[in-house]
C-alpha cells in the first residue's frame, strides 16, 4: 500500500476504522492490514486502500481518474488508485466516489 519498508502508523489504523464506518451503508465493508497500510474491501473484493501515512485511495479507471483529478486527487505511484481529498472524506461525496470505484470491480 505504501513504499517498501514503510511502517504502519496510527493515522493509517484510525483512518481505516473511520472509512469502514462511513461506508457501512454500502454493504459488507471491511479493512485488512496489508503492506504497512490497509486494503478496503466490499464483499471480499478490494476497491480502496489506505497507505501507511493514512492517505485514502480508491480504485480508478482512466475515466474516473480524470474525474477525480478535477477535485485534486493524485494517482498512487504504483497501482490504479487515486487519492481521496480530505474535503471529500468528510462529505457525503465519499459514498458517491466509493460507489463509482466499487462499480469498477463489480463490472469486470
pLDDT tens for each residue of the chain, 108 residues long: 555 556 666 788 899 999 999 999 999 999 999 888 899 999 999 999 999 889 999 999 999 999 889 889 999 987 899 999 888 888 888 999 999 999 999 876
CA distances from 33 to 8, 13, 59, 62, 98 (A): 9, 9, 17, 27, 19
Q: Where are the domains of the chain?
A: 10-106
Which helix or strand (DSSP H or E) is residue 65 part of?
helix 62-69
Which pLDDT score, from 0 to 100, does residue 77 have? 83
C-alpha cell at 84: 481521496
**DSSP 3-state assignment of 40?**
strand
Which fold does the domain 10-106 belong to in CATH? Yope Regulator; Chain: A, (3.30.1460)
Q: What is the DSSP string of 70-108?
A: TTT--B-SSSSEEE--HHHHTSTHHHHHHHHHHHHHHT-
What pTM was computed for the model? Answer: 0.88
CA angle 8, 12, 18 (to 5 degrees): 155
- Cross-strand pairs, 58: 48, 82
Place of cell 463489480: 106
pLDDT at 89: 87
Amino acid at each position: 500500500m505504501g513504499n517498501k519498508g514503510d511502517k504502519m502508523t496510527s493515522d493509517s489504523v484510525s483512518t481505516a476504522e473511520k472509512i469502514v464506518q462511513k461506508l457501512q451503508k454500502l454493504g459488507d465493508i471491511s479493512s485488512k492490514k496489508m503492506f504497512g497500510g490497509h486494503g478496503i474491501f466490499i464483499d471480499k473484493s478490494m476497491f480502496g486502500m489506505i497507505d501507511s501515512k493514512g492517505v485514502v485511495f480508491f480504485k480508478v479507471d482512466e475515466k474516473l481518474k480524470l474525474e477525480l483529478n478535477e477535485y485534486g486527487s493524485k494517482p498512487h505511484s504504483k497501482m490504479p488508485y487515486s487519492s481521496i481529498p480530505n474535503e471529500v472524506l468528510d462529505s457525503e461525496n465519499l459514498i458517491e466516489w466509493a460507489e463509482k470505484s466499487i462499480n469498477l470491480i463489480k463490472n469486470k
